[in-house]
Chains A and B, each alone.
Chain A
Amino acid sequence: MLQITNLHAEVEGKPILNGLSLTVNAGEVHAIMGPNGAGKSTLAYVLGGRPGYEVTEGSVTFDGQDLLALEPHERAAAGLFLGFQYPVEIPGVSNVQFLREALNAQRKARGEEPLSGGEFLKLAREKAGLLRLDMDMLKRSVNVGFSGGEKKRAEMVQMGILDPVFAVLDETDSGLDIDALRVVGEGINAIMRSPRKAVLLITHYQRLLDYVKPDFVHVLAKGRIVKSGGPDLALELEREGYEAVA
């Protein structure tokens, strides 16, 4: 589904990714772990197409197409979802309005009919329920006045509504207490665990992986993957630290 080959990228002229290669197949959950500054968030932003994150070498193929040639909104319509480490506040734009516009823009790009207001609200209510987020929160401005945990749950509600085939989740576990972590973990499983979907979980810690069991774990250091393994690798990292393992 996703094939990253020898990816080099820089931010403001500074090289961050240095030859990263990774293949993710449908039905798989991959975890990327690594110390601060390893390039984890840069990888997420490069995949999402954030301006200022410049690819200098390598390629990314997503479902057979050149992902890097697509604009950010086209990547979303192609089925890519980027869960933000720091979800952005948008005063004056309600979640409902934002997500309905976003979903219908994606549907339009795929040649599908738009959802009516009623159909959309039904879908939003269902996904909010899944993440135990009060529906009233979705009537408020996007992320404005949300706590850290609410922002992360709202991200997952967005993911549920947009129904991507591939999700890159950048430290979705940060800022969550233990109960919220379980709710979010179960939400990710419910939305993304499917033979036709895949997930790239970017995280510092093992704890989210207790709920979302990865098929593969990779250690990212200095902009490339230095070690890959099964779920046990995450436990090993947790026990012994990045320096000892990688």
Chain B
Amino acid sequence: MNASLASVVPTTRDEDWRYADPDWLAAADPAALNRWRELAVPAGETLCETGIVEAGVDRLRVHVGRDARFALFLVNPAGPYARAEVEVTLEEGAHFEFGGVTLGGGRKRQEFVTRVFHAHPHASSNQVVRAVQWGQATGNFLGRIEVARDAQKTDAAQNFRAILLEKGAAANAKPELEIFADDVKCAHGAAIGALDRAAAFYMAARGLPPEIARKLLIRAFVADAFAAIEDAGLRERMLEQALAGLEGDVV
């Protein structure tokens, strides 16, 4: 963020904020909005962070050193507006892994915004975001990947899928790829749909009440975002934390 802009509050006319909550932005304190947490992963090292996103705007800027690895896994159950923003710069051979889940109902507006700079060759990034929304809630993923001219052999992927449990819920995907190198792999995919009705009936026919069937299906769906967590116990805890947002909240 440019220093001269630090005192300016963005509006939904700004591309990066187009799905944000305008009411929330109008009332926001610019100082709080523009506070970035800075992080550096030294060359060759590995850092894994997990967390629960809280209401408001959380901004993280990470520099991942040569052959280092940064993994970030977030559950975003918050509202009325909860935005987690991550800006990652990758040195040669570095890797960034991101798994994010937005899950919420009511009028919650939840989003992940990532910008990954592949500044040097042989770096890789993989981002998996899953959104589960109901009521009139919205789940967004704005993912930008920039590949510099000499960042050959970049391997970048991002995947977004959303399940809308009720009419009125929404999801937005805004993938942006800006590629200046020619020998790279960049993949992105996005899909928005409803819970699989055929699977729901199949499960009911085996005796599963709808609420348990739905929980199993949602669990399987969001699990993709945490599949890259190596520690099975941690993976399970993240899943439980994500699914906790479902309890007593879904109609």
Interface of A toward B, CB cutoff 8 Å: 48-51, 71-73, 75-77, 81-82, 84, 87-93, 97-99, 101-103, 105-106, 109, 141, 158, 162
Q: Indicate if B198 sits at the interface (CB-CB under 8 A).
A: yes
What's the minimum C-beta distance from A219 to chain B, rounded to whole angstroms? Answer: 26
Q: Select A48's contact among B196, B205, B208, B223, beta carbons within 8 Å.
A: B205
| 29 residue pairs from A and B, CB less than 8 Å apart | A48-B201, A49-B204, A50-B201, A51-B197, A71-B204, A71-B210, A73-B205, A76-B207, A77-B207, A84-B202, A87-B202, A88-B196, A88-B198, A88-B199, A88-B201, A90-B199, A92-B219, A92-B223, A93-B217, A93-B219, A93-B220, A98-B208, A99-B206, A102-B207, A103-B207, A105-B207, A109-B207, A158-B206, A162-B207
User: Are A98's CB and B223's CB within 8 A?
Assistant: no
State in angstroms the CA–CA spacing of A93 and B213 once bound together.
10
Name the one of B202, B207, B213, B217 contacting A106, with C-beta atoms under 8 angstroms: B207
On whether the beta carbons of B204 and A73 are closer than 8 Å, the reply is yes
What are the residues of chain B within 8 A of A76 when measuring CB–CB? 204-207
Are A90 and B207 in touch, CB under 8 angstroms? no
Q: Are B199 and A73 in contact (CB under 8 A)?
A: no
Any chain A CB within 8 A of the CB of B209? yes
Q: Which residues of A contact B219 (CB under 8 A)?
A: 92-93
Contacts of B205 in A (CB 8 A): 48-50, 72-73, 75-76, 81-82, 84
User: Nearest CB to that of A90 among chain B residues?
Assistant: B199
B206 lies within 8 A of A98 (CB): yes
Tell me the minimal C-beta distance from B200 to chain A in angstroms: 9
Instruction: Report if B216 contacts A (CB, 8 A).
Output: yes
Residue B224 at the chain A interface, CB threshold 8 Å: yes
A214 to B125 Cα, complex, angstroms: 60
How far is the CB of B132 from the nearest CB of chain A, in Å? 13
Give Cα distance in the complex from A75 to B204, angstroms.
9
Kindly state the separation between the CA atoms of A158 and B220 in the bound complex, as whole angstroms. 20
In angstroms, Cα B203 to Cα A157, docked, is: 15
The chain A residue sitting closest to B198, CB to CB, is A88
A52 to B205, CA, bound (A): 15
Taken together as a complex, chains A and B put the C-alpha atoms of A50 and B203 apart, in Å, by 11
Residues of chain B from 31 to 89 with CB closer than 8 A to chain A in the complex: none
